[in-house]
Amino acid sequence: MATVLELACELIARPSVTPDDAGCQQWLAARLEKIGFHCESMVFDDVTNLWARRGDSGPLLVFAGHTDVVPPGPRELWDTDPFEPQVRDGRLYGRGAADMKSSIAAFVAAVEEFVAARPDHAGSIGLLITSDEEGPALNGTVRVCQTLARRAEHPDYCVVGEPTSVRALGDTIKNGRRGSLSGRLTVIGKQGHVAYPHLARNPVHLLAPALTALTRQRWDAGNDHFPPTTFQVSNIHAGTGAGNVVPGTAVLDFNFRFSTASTPETLKERVLGILDEHELDYDIVWTLGGEPFLTPTGTLSKALSASIRAVTGRDPELSTTGGTSDGRFIARICPQVVEFGPINASIHQANEHVSVAELEPLKDIYRGLLERLLPA
């Protein structure tokens, strides 16, 4: 059996920038098939997904993750090649080291050890791996979950290997995520010469009071599990580039990260109400990135917390902060979904890294979960 470090290096060395899997899943399938997994490649458009399962009885515990990574950015910002894994000063460097190839390596090592020790374990083990988590997320986990639902193949528990730890391995489990609702607002004015403003209608000036009202809204108060919903502007554009032209349109991109205290429908209604109140001529296009999901304290979170305590001595906090993940899709077919993985401080940055000393404990935590949920 390989160490988690060896497996992580093998994955990091493959330049799997979304949606290119770069052979990661084929390599994973070859290892898993050796220990009795049935491996199924699901390809949708340019996205490769892997569904691997060992056993045909319940309960079904799934480890989920993604082999794709974000682009490394300018090479000069990296001390070493981002796709040549390097160990320096006790840290493993490379794109995907934290997000989330080390977690996948720990999944595989944990499963290999568990199956070797308990070949007749109860229930089933699954791995759901995609190459489309960091991208549009249209042909990855969501499509696999749709396929599994049509086959009435429903996981009972799922752990997504996102890097959730904040200061030390095991300090945080994500038991839910906020929803994401984006909008592109186009405010329509009338182009003209800046010296003759009475012959033009400046959409920036028209937008400004409405934008102030949007930023001052209290969308909800959150609840016991989620912080209040937030509204943020991400991009704003108007003008032709010339200094003497009143723009004809102003385009604003914004995003809600919303709790279960709000719905996409109520947020849309309130935005439109504010725009109409300010008598704007506008067009708006909405994109629902994901609904919020929440797994209340239960069998999965208790078993994972117990495994974390046994390995690290820490009592993890249950949290719903941060961005979205593929957990939002899996929650549609699985009643208990949590996320747990290594420290997230360097994700998407140059010189992304994980502590080598935390790789084997991460594997031990995942194995401990298997032992608690799928006893012999």
**Annotated catalytic residue 339:** no
Query: What are the structure tokens assigned to 356, written together?
Result: 């080598």
The annotation status of 154 as a binding-site residue, yes or no, is no
What lies within 8 Å, CB to CB, of 364 at 6+ separation is: 110, 307, 311
Q: Name the strand (E) or helix (H) holding 282.
A: strand 282-290
Dist CA 289 CA 269 (whole Å):
18
- State the catalytic residue, choosing from 21, 132, 133, 339: 133
Q: Max Cα separation, the chain?
A: 82
The annotation status of 66 as a binding-site residue, yes or no, is yes
Dist CA 236 CA 339 (whole Å):
34
Q: Report how many helices (DSSP H) and strands (DSSP E) the chain contains, helices first.
A: 9, 19
Burial class (CB in 10 A: 0-12, 13-18, 19+), 216: exposed
**Annotated catalytic residue 315:** no
Dist CA 223 CA 108 (whole Å):
37
The sign of the CA dihedral 193, 195, 201, 207 is: positive
The annotation status of 38 as a binding-site residue, yes or no, is no
The number of angstroms, rounded, from the C-alpha of 105 to the middle of its chain's C-alpha atoms is 18
Q: Is the peptide bond before 342 cis (omega within 30 degrees of 0)?
A: no
- State the catalytic residue, choosing from 68, 112, 339, 358: 68
| Catalytic residue ranges | 68, 133
Residues that constitute the known binding site for Zn(2+):
66, 99, 134, 162, 348
> Which amino acids are annotated as binding site, given as ranges?
66, 99, 134, 162, 348
